[in-house]
Amino acid sequence: MATPSRTEIISLFRSLLRSARQFPDYNIREYTKRRTIDSFRHNKTLSDPSSIAAAFSDGQSQLQVARRQSVVYSLYAPKIKSIMDVKP
């Protein structure tokens, strides 16, 4: 497996954050965003090409999971908005 470029890694990061915005529930949306940022910070120090490729592959699979879950959550979205979603 080839080492992903910096552009591909940034694209994956942005795609994960975009998929987090698709969740209708505030708590799940924020959890997904926080988990994405924490994972990228944790993997920031990786230098071995094989571990970078493995982390990138894991990120891509997490993106697919997040996309599927956002569809499922949107089908069963709560009828009442969270207090965090209400704008004054």
Could you list the pLDDT tens digit for every one of the 88 residues in the chain?
688 999 999 999 999 999 999 998 888 999 999 999 999 999 999 999 999 999 999 999 999 999 999 999 888 877 777 777 777 6
84 in a structural domain: no
Inter-CA distances, 80 with 34, 61, 73, 83, 85, Å? 24, 31, 14, 9, 10
27 in a structural domain: yes
* Whether the Cβ atoms of residue 59 and residue 16 lie closer than 8 Å to each other: yes
Residue numbers of the domain that contains 67: 6-75
Number of domains in the chain: 1
82 in a structural domain: no
pTM of the model: 0.85
CB atoms within 10 A of CB 12: 19
Q: Which amino acid does the sequence have at 58?
A: D
88 in a structural domain: no
Which pLDDT score is estimated for 79? 75
Which pLDDT score is estimated for 1? 63
46 in a structural domain: yes
Number of H helices, E strands in the chain: 3, 0
